Amino acid sequence: MGLVLLATKAPTAAIRRKYSSLGGRIALKAPLVGVSPEKEKAIFKRELTIWAGLRHNSILSLLDILYGEDGNLFAAMDWCDGSLRDLMRKKHRFSLSESLHIIAHMLCGLLYANEKDKVLHLDIKPENVIYRLGILRDKNVSKNQSDILKYEFMISDWGIASVKTQRIGTFLEGNASVSTEETFNNMGTMHYMAPERFCAGTSSSIASDIYSLGMVFYELMTGSLPVTINAIPAYQVREIKSFDYYHAAIQEIGNHDISSHYTKVILSMIHPQPSIRPKSYHELGNALMTAGRKENNLFSRIFK
């Protein structure tokens, strides 16, 4: 839904001074305008409204909102090293410690957004998780440990997020034609979307984002997803709505050397029934820490 560009030269001296600490490297995001430009611009304004209120180490920072001469908006943000998808293209499967390191960062960001403004992301996937080298963390990681543990991971792209509180108001000029409270229940990335999001008359919840987070966790640990990626959309929807994906996940995850404690947590996260999944991020965190205690307290050390 957006185009991200690297700006190596700030357009004005004031902006250069403001971002001098970033070494002159900032990223600019603009909406991709297609057949419904006004609607797409309104969705982008809506994203900025939500994103501007989120300040957390596990959420990509919105630094500023810039106005082009033609009236278009640009979001200025930190320039990072790449996305989790970029890392996954280089590394087929991740170790348990690497996967937990990534999931812990994502969980912290989602927990913060939901507790602060009742925000549901609704498009959790590797492409929307950005990483960079952690300055402080780098000093605490042994040279013999994985490079993944040196990275900080941040959630980005809040374009279809749902806000369950009325506290957020638009801070941009004009009246956006898309409410911050609107839920885009039929939008997202199909193979990371929870089954209930394909059903008319149902509403998204924390369980929907926990499902997507579980799919990322599953993919990190197994190197694949339990849905047919290259199939036609109608077939993918049938796989998900009929719960075939879940039976495939149970079979596939058993073919990998993953502890039964973490296997149980992952399968609970991607369960077809929202009521079976962890009911909150705190409950999920506790489940992971419990599994960690049974696995030499690994998650407890990462998540603290």
Band (pLDDT 50/70/90 cuts) for residue 45 is confident
Sheet holding 2-7, edge to edge: 2-7, 26-31, 73-78, 62-67
Structural domains in the chain, sorted by start: 2-78 (3.30.200.20), 82-303 (1.10.510.10)
Least reliable range by pLDDT among 38-52, 125-139, 211-225: 125-139
- Return the pLDDT at 159: 85
With contact defined as beta carbons under 8 Å apart, do 212 and 192 qualify? yes
Task: With CA atoms as reference, report the closest residue to 171 among 49, 67, 72, 74.
Answer: 49
Q: Print burial letters for 133-153: b (CB count within 10 Å at least 16), e (below 16).
A: ebeeeeeeeeeeeeebbbbbb
**Residue 1, token pair as written in the block:** 């839904």
Rounded average pLDDT over 17-30:
70
Taking only the tens place, the pLDDT of each residue in 98-156 is 999 999 999 999 999 999 989 999 999 999 999 988 754 544 555 666 789 999 999 99
189: Cα within 13 Å, side-chain hemisphere: 22
Whether the per-residue pLDDT at 285 is higher than 90: the answer is: yes
- The neighbouring-strand residues paired with 83 are 130
Average pLDDT, the chain: 83
- Return the pLDDT at 17: 66
205: Cα within 13 Å, side-chain hemisphere: 13
Taking only the tens place, the pLDDT of each residue in 150-208 is 999 999 999 888 886 655 544 333 444 444 445 455 567 888 999 998 887 677 899 99
Cα dihedral 155, 160, 161, 167 sign: positive
**Residue 49, token pair as written in the block:** 């409204």
- Return the pLDDT at 172: 35
- Return the pLDDT at 177: 47
- Return the pLDDT at 32: 75
Rounded average pLDDT over 203-231:
93
- Return the pLDDT at 173: 38
- Return the pLDDT at 74: 86
- Return the pLDDT at 80: 85
C-alpha to C-alpha distance for 31 and 162, rounded to whole angstroms: 18
